[in-house]
Amino acid sequence: MWGKKFIFCDEKCEVVRCGSHEICQFRLTDLYLAEHALREVAQREEKLHRRVLALQKTMAIESTATQCTATESVSAQLEQANQQLQEAQEQYPRQEYTLYQALFKA
């Protein structure tokens, strides 16, 4: 469907034609916004996951090199990154449901 061309009847028209289907413009807007929000959450989650992994590696290297526990600042950063990652993971199902609603709105 996304490879097809959308045709607007005129400037005042609220319906978009895609092949033999007609779609309301506001539904397309809702769909695009929901998809964008879901992608944004997924990218944020991926970024935070990478940050957590990097901080864990940093802690492991520091504790091995100095034969003592990792610095408190790295531990605090890791804790904060884990908390942000958990928040992003909690947002994902809500954004997924918003996209579902945009797709199948009555």
Query: In order along the chain (106 residues), what is the average pLDDT of each group of 10 residues?
Result: 54 65 75 91 95 90 65 86 93 90 74
Q: How far apart are the first and last CA of the chain?
A: 19
Structural domains of the chain, count: 1
Give the domain extent around 44.
27-103
pLDDT at 106: 44
Residue 79 lies in a domain: yes
**Is the C-alpha dihedral spanning 92, 95, 100, 101 positive or negative?**
positive
Residue 10 lies in a domain: no
> Smallest Cα–Cα separation from 41: which of 2, 81, 94?
94
Residue 4 lies in a domain: no
Residue 69 is inside which H or E element, if any? none
Residue 66 lies in a domain: yes
Residue 8 lies in a domain: no
Residue 74 lies in a domain: yes
